[in-house]
Amino acid sequence: MKEIIFPKSLKKGDKIAIISPAGFVEEAPLQNTLNLVQSKGYEPVFGKHTLGKFVNGYNYSGTEKERIQDLNWALNDEEISAIWATRGGYGCQHLLRHLKLSKFKENPKWYIGYSDNTVINSYLLKNGFASIHGQTIKTASFGVSEEGYENIFNILEGKKLKYTLEKHPFNKNGIAEGELIGGNLALIYALLGTNYSFKFKDKILFIEDIGENFYALDRMLMSLDLAGVFRKIKGLIIGGMTNMGDEKENKNYEEPFDEFAYEIIAQRLKKYNFPTLFGFPNGHIFDNRPLIIGRNVKIEVGEKPKVEI
């Protein structure tokens, strides 16, 4: 098994590339986080197309060529010490065949993002590098907790994290250790059967999602089941399931862990006995705490569930 490489810790004055590998974003919604980056002693550096716009059935930050150019610059420029995505959306899959890691391999750096950025997390892990599944530079309408960003900086500075959670009625008790994989369920599902899919055997899988109809959630879970994913993993962590359900229903961003979505997941997992932890604070939610994809983690599911990152 390939040994996972963890990027070195950042030091004051280091440069963090700010890129938009998927959707279009304006500068104003980024400013608060950019100010925070600077207050921590780091220098944010924009890619050429971070604030670009290309409309092609979706509002991308640039053409595929432009977004690939920005990401390859961030990955391989020797002056850049970390990479932070402005947002997700759609478009990261376009980049996978064209990414280059020549200089990156000599100087690995943290990549930070979630949602559509799950495919970049997966790509880096396939090549033996850990990354951060955490809050982007842009905060959505539901905002982000102070701890969500603070814990990202803790990771960048080399600190380990330990989360203690509330017990959930759907949890399946037990202890499991393994390499953490996953992210946004829709992207895990979209990568199945490709060369860029996560490897699931003996792993701890994390899933979260937003805005999916309940039947679509079930379809994705069925695909994972039919692909043998749930027979291979050692444990499962379920994060935010936000804004789920029929399009005609009122959406509620204040409910991060949709009750019926959780019921659907629990039903699909009923025949499996691995430790399962519901209600982890990561996803399209206000209290979005980072996870490290590629880190060997330990989950203890009991009266006071714990996750050591």
Letter for the amino acid at 275? P
Distance, in Å, from the CA atom of 181 to the CA atom of 97, rounded to the nearest integer, reads 21
Q: Residue ranges of the alpha helices (H) in 77-192?
A: 102-106, 118-126, 146-156, 185-191
Residues in the chain with pLDDT values less than 50: 248, 250
Quote the CA–CA distance of 231 and 200 in Å, as a whole number: 9
Give the Cα separation of 5 and 100 in Å (integer).
17
Q: Cβ(95)–Cβ(124) under 8 Å?
A: no
pTM to 2 decimal places: 0.96
* CA-based nearest residue to 11, from 44, 39, 41: 41
Token couple for 190? 């979209």
pLDDT score at 1: 62
The neighbouring-strand residues paired with 48 are: none
Q: Which domains does the chain have, with CATH numbers?
A: 15-156 (3.40.50.10740), 162-308 (3.50.30.60)
